Structures are given as structure tokens and as C-alpha cells.
Structure 1
Amino acid sequence: MSISWEESYVGQLRALAGDRVLLFVGARGVVRDEAGRLLLIQRSDNGHWALPAGAMELGESISDCVIREVREETGLHAEAVTPVAMYTGPERTHTNMYGHTYQLFSVAFRVDRWSGTLATVTDETTDARFCAPDEFPAPLSPSVIETLADLAAFEKSGNVVLK
């Protein structure tokens, strides 16, 4: 069960902070099927195709965050995850479609094992599907390409990518 924006930690913080730039701590998950295709979700807020992702809530770890976000946005149960990249720094400051500005600190995880049945529509998504790289739908979030490159670097070196 997902919580509303108003009930979320970031939503409550935004209500208190007004227009100030906030730190946003979040996670994204790279889920692949047996054929190596990547799971993409179409976000209900902006229509972009992206990896399952979202903000960490109070009382959870960053790995709990990615597990919850994968479940909320796809219906799948991530059973084992590995951190592959961390994204930080002032260049990660963005203003979203609602006019809220955040400096992002996010961790990309490879979902090593998952179970369940894919839900193509959820409270946060309008579609979801496994896609081969030459089949990625548009508009595609730029974070997908960056995360896949960082995943490849991690799988080659075994070192978490720090940006």
C-alpha cells in the first residue's frame, strides 16, 4: 500500500519548508527478466519512462526504500538487491514539474532476485513493461541510460560508482 504525497516524509517536509531547496534521498531499482530485458515504468506524474524509484521514508533503510518502491510501482517483490551507484552533489539539483527544487542523493540498486506478477498500472504508474535496449519507449528519463552505464561499470569492476 502506498502513502499519499501529503503523508510522505518529503511531502510533509515540503509543507514546512516552503520554497527552500530540500535534500531528497531516494533509490532506484534495475530489474531485469530472464532474457536480460529491463523493467521500465511509465510515471503517472510526467509520462516519462523510468526505472522504479522514489524517496526514502523515515524509519527505513535505503535498501528497504528500493524494495518498497519496486513493489509500489510494479507489484514485484525484490528479494535481493545490490547497490551499484550513488548520485550526489550540487549538479544533481533539479526543479520538478510542481516547482519544487531538490538536491538529489540517490542510490541505484541492481535487483538480483525478484518474484511476483508485474502490475502494469498502479497508483504511481500508467504502464510497465520489460524492454530490450533497442525497444525503449519515449520519452525516456535520462537517468535510465546513466544508470545502465553505471551498472555495466559496476559489473565489470565490482566497484560501486560514485558520482
Structure 2
Amino acid sequence: MALTWDESYLGRVRSSVGDADTLLFVGARGVILDEQNRLCMIQRSDNHRWAIPAGAMELGESMEECAIREVWEETGLRATSLTPFSFHTALTYTNQFGHSYQQILMSFRIHTWEGELLRQTEESVDAGFFPLDALPGDKSPVVEETLADLASFEATGRLVLK
């Protein structure tokens, strides 16, 4: 069962320190490309932007477990085989609620999964698989960078570090 924001580790920390401080956001993202090379994307329920499934780690989780959980919570798909391809540590951003975070985020390429894609979950209002040359509009700014990182990893076999 998915935790609410208030129950999550990051939600509890944010509530404790308030809105003014920048927090470390440790999390993971899961990139799923189907057999037709279409990207799985969700339309987030909080800001309605299209994004790659991702989210914050909970205490006791590994980054791989976080990626598996976040993909499942946001898509209904359970990742069964995944490979890390990029690790970002330097991006600081402020979300629509005025909360600032420095991201420490691992991106995983999900090779196999089980289940059926859910179009709506508690965290998404829509979802689908989209051709890479026809991704939906109003997307998260990190989608293109994530796909570029994956292409770099696939070309070189080296983990992308930023």
C-alpha cells in the first residue's frame, strides 16, 4: 500500500523543517521501453506534467527497490529486471509548492516487467506508452535528459554521472 505524502519520509522531514530549507531528495526513476521502443510515461496527479515514473526513497529501501516501488505505484507494472544507467547528484530545483530539493537520483532501465498498465493511480491521472518522436506535451524537463543519458549508457556501457 502506498504511503501518503504526509506519511512518507520526505513528507515527514519537510513538515519538521518547514518550507524554507533545501532538502536532499534521494530517489529513483524507472525507464520502460516496450517492444516497439515506446516510452512509458505517466501524467502526474500533482502538476499534470507527463513524466517518467520516479519518486523518493523510503527508509530501509535500496535505490533499486525504490525504482521498483515507484514504477508499481505510478503504473501498476512490477519491474522484474533493471539496470542502473545514470546517477545525478547536483540538480537543485524548487517545485510548485515552493519546496527546494537537491536531487540524488538513480535512473534505471527496466528490461522486463509484469502486470497491466493502469491509466490512473493515486499518483497519476493518465499513463501510456508513447513513440519517442511523439511524446506528450507539457512534460517534465528531465525527460529529454534522461533519454539522452540512457542513449549515452547504451553507446558506451558506462554509468552516466552528473
Report the TM-score when normalising by structure 2. Answer: 0.97
- Residue 7 (structure 2) aligns with: 7
- Residue 95 (structure 1) aligns with: 94
Structure 2 residue ranges without an equivalent (≥5): none
- Residue 152 (structure 1) aligns with: 151
- Residue 45 (structure 1) aligns with: 46
Between Structure 1 and Structure 2, the one with more helix by share is: 1
Deviations 1:26-84 (A, max 9, x none): 11110011111100100010010000000000010000000000000000010011100
- Secondary structure of the equivalent of 1:135? coil
- Secondary structure of the equivalent of 1:57? coil
2:122 maps to amino acid: D
2:14 maps to amino acid: R
CA shift, 1:95, in A, is 0.9
Q: Which runs of 4+ in 1 moved over 6 A?
A: none
- Residue 80 (structure 1) aligns with: 81
- Residue 128 (structure 1) aligns with: 127
- Residue 68 (structure 1) aligns with: 69
Structure 1 residue ranges without an equivalent (≥5): none
- Measure the CA separation in 1 of the matches of 2:133 and 2:23: 36
- Measure the CA separation in 2 of the matches of 1:99 and 1:140: 19
Name the Cα RMSD after superposition. 0.7
1:160 maps to amino acid: L
- Measure the CA separation in 1 of the matches of 2:39 and 2:134: 10
1:14 maps to amino acid: R
- 1:108 partnered with 2:107: yes
- Measure the CA separation in 2 of the matches of 1:51 and 1:148: 10
- Secondary structure of the equivalent of 2:148? helix
